[in-house]
Structures are given as C-alpha cells and as structure tokens.
Structure 1
Amino acid sequence: MARRFGVSPATVRSWERRYGVGPTDHETGRHRRWSPQDVAVLDVMCGLTARGVAPGEAARVALRSAADPAGASRGAEADEVPSPGAERPAAPGGRSALPVGPVRPECRGLARAAVRLDAAKVSRILRTVVADLGTVTAWTEVMAPALRAAGRKWATGGDRYVEVEHLLSWHVSTALRVVADRQGDARPGPCALLAGTPGELHTLPLDALVAGLAERRLPCLILGPAVPAPALLEAVRRTGPAAVALWAQSAHTADHPLARQTAEVAWGGRGSRSRPTVLVAGPGWAPRRIPDELIRPHDLPSALDHIERLLTV
C-alpha cells in the first residue's frame, strides 16, 4: 500500500495508529487485509495531505468518505483545504518525504505530490498557488523551498530522487511560463534582457523573474540557459535593453569579466549613446565583491524592483 500511494510504510502505520486509517480486517497470526473500502479511504487521505490539509483533518474527511463519499467531497472542498498562509502541523513522512521544514501548507502538499510522482496534483497545486498568491509569493514560499528540498534529497539519496526533482522542475517551469505568456500585455518602452551565463544550465529563477515582470506589465527578452558570451553581447547591441540580468547558480559559472563587458556595451547615435545596467543574480556571484557599476539583487522581489525602476525612468 505504501508503494502504491507513494508514501513510506512508517507513514501508513502512523496514520493507522493515530487516526484509524488502515485495514479494518485483522486476523490473529495473518497479514492485515485491506478491503476496497480501506483502500479508498487511504486514497482520500493521501489526496488531501498532498493538498496541504493537516493529517488529522484529512483522516476525519477520509473516514467520513467511507459512509458518505459525496459529503466527504463537499467537506474537502468547503472547509478542509487550508487558506493561504494558514499554519498546519507537518505530517509524518518517513524517509521518503522531502524535508521542507517550516513552510506554508501549500509547499508541504506540493512536496508530497512530487514524491508520489503525482503529476496531476503537482500541476493543480502550482496553478492554484500562482493564481491565489501571485508569482513572487508562489515562488519564494512554495516553489523554491520545494525545489531546494528535492535537491537536498537528491544529493543525499543518490540518483533515486532525480525523477522527483525533474518532475517538480518541469511543472514549476510550465506554471511560470503560463504567466510569462502575458508579455503581450507589456507596456511600451525599453526592455530587460535575461540570460544564463555561459555554462549555466539551471535557470528556473529566470522563469520566475520573467513571470514577475509580466505581472507588472514590464517588457523583457529571455535568452535562456548557457548563452555564449558573443551571442549575449550581440543581443545587447541589437535590442538596447535598459537592464540585463545575468543568472549564475554557482561560482564556477559566474562570469565576472562578461558581466563587466556587458555593462560597457553601447548603442544609439553619436552623442546619445546608452549602456545597460547589469544585474548579477544568483548565489554564484556571492563569493566575490561586486563592482559598484553592477547591481546584485538578493531575492526575486528586489530584482523586480530594480528592473522596474530602470525600465520606467
């Protein structure tokens, strides 16, 4: 049953011991038998906890579903799903759970669904948090903590958890790009150019930045990961952006000479030439001092605020 629903055996046993969610058929000296009704109750339990419902409340609804499926469904929709920002006690997760720490219930639900490889629930949770919370809060309080937890689990568990990280990354990127498609509604004026440094393949935070700019109706052009230096500089010359954001996840990919060179690219007619303001974003830039002519935002909100000021001068 644990393998079927993507939770640990310890979690299943804990739910049975604490809440009575388990096999109802006990015979001395024999394995416990799960009836179809027992399986249905556990299915409801897993579905609700994946959405961030506290285990005790989820168990109450799941057990009620055995007697009244329609009523349980109404209860889950009406009063069991926590409101944004509500604090819930963490569910027991066993060794297979993602260690997300003290986070929003939506983040815990997202992590549970990702571990179960439940793509449909992952997608639904992400769509809901983006719509309800907005890009900045959805990224900083739900998406990013779940992604970091998946990365830590992968690092300590070997290749076993790479599928969880890949599934989560793909759906996070998809949810953010739905918002980024609103670029057609951007106000006229100079744009921001966003790119990963040469060799940098991890650029999900740039997807979040694009989505945040789209919510503010600010125009931008994203070139994606691992942009070669000549291609980046040529794009800056051709588009004349007011701001250029260069993302580097690690010190190995943080190209400091390229950042300074980008800040020196000029365009426009003689006597009216302009240069971009360069933002160096990501943890890769941290180990070294950043020159005064460059801006290093420390999080998504500050990056958005810097770019908005540069684009609306």
Structure 2
Amino acid sequence: MTEPTPGATAPGLTTGAVARRLGVSPTTLRSWDRRYGLGPTARSPGRHRRWSPADIARVERMCRLTAGGVPPAEAARVALTTRGEDTGLTTADRPAPAATRRGGAGGGLPLGDVRRECRGLARAAVRLDSAELESRLSAAIRDHGLVVAWEEVVVPTLRAVGRKWASSADRYVEVEHLLSWHVSTALRRAPLLLPRAASPAGAPPVVLACAPGEQHALPLEALHAALDERGVPCLMLGAAVPPEALLAAVRRTGPAAVVVWSQARTTAASALARRIDGLRWGAAGARGRPFVLPAGPGWDRRALRGFPRCSGLGDAVGLLRALYAPDGTVRRMPHVQEAGGGPSAPRTRS
C-alpha cells in the first residue's frame, strides 16, 4: 500500500461509505479484498484504508457482473483487468439468460422469490447507477417484451423499494425517484427496442388518464407502451386530469375506450367514470359510446360495480386490443366483470 505524501489530503472514502454507495455490506467488501485483491490501495495518515475513485470503479464492475450472474472469481478477474464499461466478456463468456433463474434480495431490498433480473435492477438502483439501470431495463424489455418486463421485473423491484422506503423513515427516497425516472424513460424508448404492429387506419384511440388528483402515472405509461407495441392507437393525458378536461377530450375524440387510473381509494372517482360511461356521440341509430375501464388498486368492488375488471397489465392489453376488428372498426364489448383490479401497480410512496 502506498503512503500519502506529508500534508496531502487523505484520499477517497472509507469502507463503510463505499458499502453504502454500492448497496453491499462492508463485510462483503472486506471479503472481496481478502479473496480477490479488490480493495483500497491507499491509507490515510492514521493508517485507515481509503478507497480511491479507481478502487471504487473496480468494485462497481464487480457488483454489476455478480448481479448479472457471473461467478465471483471470474467477475473479480474481469474487474481487475478492465477499465470503464468494457467488461472483457465475450458472448460465450457471458452467463446464460436469466429469464427462469430466481434470486433473493438485491442491494438490501426485500425482493423475495423473483427473477434474477430484479436482483440486478435493485442493486443498480441502490447504487444510484444510472447507466446500469438504463442497460438492465432496456435488456428486460428487449428480451421479454413489455408485459413480462413490467409485471415480473419492474413491479417487484418498485414494490421492494417502496417497502424499504416505508420502513426506513423516508430513506431510499432518492432510490425510488431514480428508478421511477429510468422506468419511465425505458417505457418511452420501447418502440426503439421492439417491433411495433401497425395501427388500424382511422381507428379511434384509447384515452388514458389518471383520475383527478392522482399523480401516480407510471403504470399508465406501461399500459400506453404495451398498447403501442400492439398497434392500438392511444391518447395519453397523464397525471391528475381534471374531470371537465377528461370529459372534453372524450367528446372531442370519440374514443374506443377510456382507462381511468387510480392508485388510491381517495382518488377513485366513480362518479366521473359513470359520467364518461354515459357519454354518447354520432348520428341517431349509430351513436357511439366509450368502453370505460377503471384501473388500479384504488378502485374497490363497490366503485367497479357495472364496469369491467382486469387482473394485470396483460389482461388490460388483451381486453383493449380485442375492441378493434382487423379493419379498425370498434367492437362493442359488454361490461363483463372479471377478477382483479387493473394493470399491476407498484406500491411506492412517490
């Protein structure tokens, strides 16, 4: 180990600070140092070991590789012999796809029995590693499609962050915000990663809106991306849409369906859903009406009485896609009750 020059400022971070930054335990860092030589290369004047930026970069690469399924010894070899984002792994060297492998908690988050991708995504979120979050989210969407990526990778990770936030006196707020922002970005970039079906010419859209006062629009963004992938035309109005604005949009566009998202019971506007359901347009004898789908955990059975239900994103996409005939005309679907409550919602506190 090198000694700092007299009067020089002690370099780098302590082991505890690095552990918090990377979302691993100090014991893990000491074990990697002892076994593989992935440790700090400098000491302070008080003989305390300090991690330089280069030391931290190496152990960050170690975290990324092990989270992706690379054996620790191989991950350490790569981390010690490469720079930056170059992992040194050829296609043949990389671990097998993790679609069916399961993993436990990632980065101290309570994930339970989930896909291995969740573990890597959680660790990247706890480390506040934007580049890794972007990479992992894009890979999940590209490898599994939007519905599976949302329901089996994104939602379990968001829920784990939300549980950690709720139980830790508002710590991990920055983790949830960063993860949500990257999920939103990945959903908007999905058309660049996946083949998109053509929309029927002249077909009326599906209007997507959050209930008045509802700010949790991320599940609605997932529905928008999944419908777009299947060629269903959409009109996204986003968060907290005032009642008269939503009614005006429905009157102006004559949509095939209106999805009203509510995350909490306090925003589930059943009176608004019934007003939308009562709208009619067009000439006498051929009047149109919207198919209204209240979605989200905020809608209880009483509020949903007389409206369709769906158990998750996949069900919502199937139900809305079935409204369109091959020629783009809209089928009139009966309001049949189904089990569930709309596209899967991450229970976060944002």
1:49 equivalent to 2:63? Answer no
- Offset from partner CA, 1:8-35 (integer Å, 9 cap, x none): 434525743995565498x9xx656769
Conserved in 1, the CA contact under 8 Å of 2:64 and 2:120? no
Offset at residue 185 of structure 1 (A): 4.5
Q: What is the CA–CA distance in structure 1 between the aligned matches of 2:171 and 2:64, rounded to whole Å? A: 23
CA shift in 2, pair 1:35/1:63, >3 Å: farther
CA shift in 2, pair 1:60/1:84, >3 Å: closer
CA shift in 2, pair 1:235/1:112, >3 Å: same
CA shift in 2, pair 1:235/1:168, >3 Å: same
Equivalent residue, structure 1, for 2:344: none
Is the partner of 2:147 in helix, strand or coil?
Answer: helix
CA shift in 2, pair 1:239/1:18, >3 Å: farther
Conserved in 2, the CA contact under 8 Å of 1:253 and 1:284? yes
Map 1:261-272; keep pairs closer than 5 Å: 261-272=275-286
CA shift in 2, pair 1:15/1:238, >3 Å: farther
Q: What is the CA–CA distance in structure 1 between the aligned matches of 2:274 and 2:151, rounded to whole Å? A: 29
Provide the TM-score with structure 2 as the length reference: 0.77
Map 1:141-156; keep pairs closer than 5 Å: 141-156=152-167
Provide the TM-score with structure 1 as the length reference: 0.85
1:123 equivalent to 2:134? Answer yes
Equivalent residue, structure 1, for 2:119: 108
CA shift in 2, pair 1:259/1:64, >3 Å: closer
Out of 12, 16, 28, the position equivalent to 2:28 is: 12
Q: Percent identity?
A: 47
Q: What is the CA–CA distance in structure 2 between the aligned matches of 1:205 and 1:170, rounded to whole Å? A: 13
Out of 301, 304, 311, the position equivalent to 2:317 is: 304
> Which ranges in structure 1 are unaligned for 5 or more consecutive residues?
none
Conserved in 2, the CA contact under 8 Å of 1:82 and 1:105? no
Q: What is the CA–CA distance in structure 2 between the aligned matches of 1:287 and 1:136, rounded to whole Å? A: 25
Conserved in 1, the CA contact under 8 Å of 2:256 and 2:290? yes
Alignment: residue pair count:
303
Map 1:83-98; keep pairs closer than 5 Å: 83-87=97-101, 89-90=103-104, 93=107, 97-98=108-109
- Offset from partner CA, 1:188-227 (integer Å, 9 cap, x none): 2121111000010001011110111111011111100111
Q: What is the CA–CA distance in structure 2 between the aligned matches of 1:38 and 1:78, rounded to whole Å? A: 28
Offset at residue 137 of structure 1 (A): 0.7
> Which ranges in structure 2 are unaligned for 5 or more consecutive residues?
1-14, 326-330, 332-350
Q: What is the CA–CA distance in structure 1 between the aligned matches of 2:66 and 2:301, rounded to whole Å? A: 40
More helix per residue: 1
Offset at residue 44 of structure 1 (A): 2.4
Superposition CA RMSD, Å:
3.1
Offset at residue 76 of structure 1 (A): 6.7
